């Protein structure tokens, strides 16, 4: 679970994300493809406005951090897209590194380290939610059996 402090920090920076989210998302893909070129082919069918789509999903997630059930259907849709594009759990740290680096580059000194760390924590929490869904979609039988054993 995210701490109250992290949730408060993320919510306080929502206006910044609303203003710069798309620039951060575009920079994220630039850094991702430069540092992790193996991820580039996954996006062969992605629309030209992918950065806008990513920014919108990040903002939606941040707005609902304290009530994520509200966006279950959005998370399911992203997970489905990821599974069909062959996104794997190992890609998430690459994407996370690129996203955080993009935040630093786009926002510069206007954002302090405490806020960056809150976004880092929130990103990996978001990643974990997606990974769980993606694994359930990719291996429905195994996931069902694991749930029964528990
Ligand atoms: C928390 C992290 C992530 C978020 C918030 C996110 C968000 C999204 C969203 C909103 C979409 C569009 C879904 C739709 O069209 O309905 C998408 C699609 C996609 N994402 Fe992610 N994503 C994340 C992580 C990743 C990672 C780690 C990779 C792989 C490096 C990745 C690769 C893709 C690809 C290949 C598509 C499909 C593009 C297409 O063909 O339309 N994403 N993602």
Q: How far is the CA of 78 from the centre of ligand 1 (A)?
A: 6
Let me know how long the chain is.
150
For residue 111, give the DSSP letter. S
Q: How far is the CA of 3 from the centre of ligand 1 (A)?
A: 25
State how far the Cα of 52 lies from the Cα of 60, in Å rounded to an integer. 12
> Which residues are within 8 A (CB) of 12 and not within 5 positions of it... i.e. 6 or more apart?
115
Residues with CB under 6 A from ligand 1: 39, 42-43, 45-47, 53-54, 57-58, 77-78, 81-82, 85, 87, 91-92, 95, 123, 126-127, 130
Instruction: Supply the residue whose CA is at minimum distance from atom 12 of ligand 1.
Output: 78
pLDDT in tens, the chain (150 residues): 899 999 999 999 999 999 999 999 999 999 999 999 999 999 999 999 999 999 999 999 999 998 999 999 999 999 999 999 999 999 999 999 999 999 999 999 889 999 999 999 999 999 999 999 999 998 876 666 666 665
Short-list 2, 142, 27, 136, CA closest to 72: 136
In this structure, CATH architecture of domain 15-144: Orthogonal Bundle (1.10)
């Amino acid at each position: 679970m995210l701490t109250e402090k992290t949730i408060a920090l993320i919510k306080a920076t929502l206006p910044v994300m609303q203003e710069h989210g798309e620039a951060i998302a575009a920079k994220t893909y630039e850094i991702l493809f430069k540092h992790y070129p193996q991820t580039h082919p996954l996006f062969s069918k992605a629309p030209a406005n992918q950065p806008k789509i990513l920014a919108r999903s990040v903002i939606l997630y941040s707005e609902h951090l304290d009530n994520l059930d509200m966006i279950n259907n959005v998370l399911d849709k992203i997970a489905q897209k990821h599974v069909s594009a062959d996104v794997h759990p190992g890609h998430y740290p690459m994407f996370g590194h690129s996203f955080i680096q993009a935040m630093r580059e786009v926002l510069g000194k206007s954002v302090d380290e405490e806020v960056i760390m809150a976004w880092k924590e929130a990103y990996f929490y978001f990643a974990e939610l997606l990974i769980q869904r993606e694994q359930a979609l990719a291996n429905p039988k195994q996931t069902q059996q694991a749930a029964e054993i528990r």
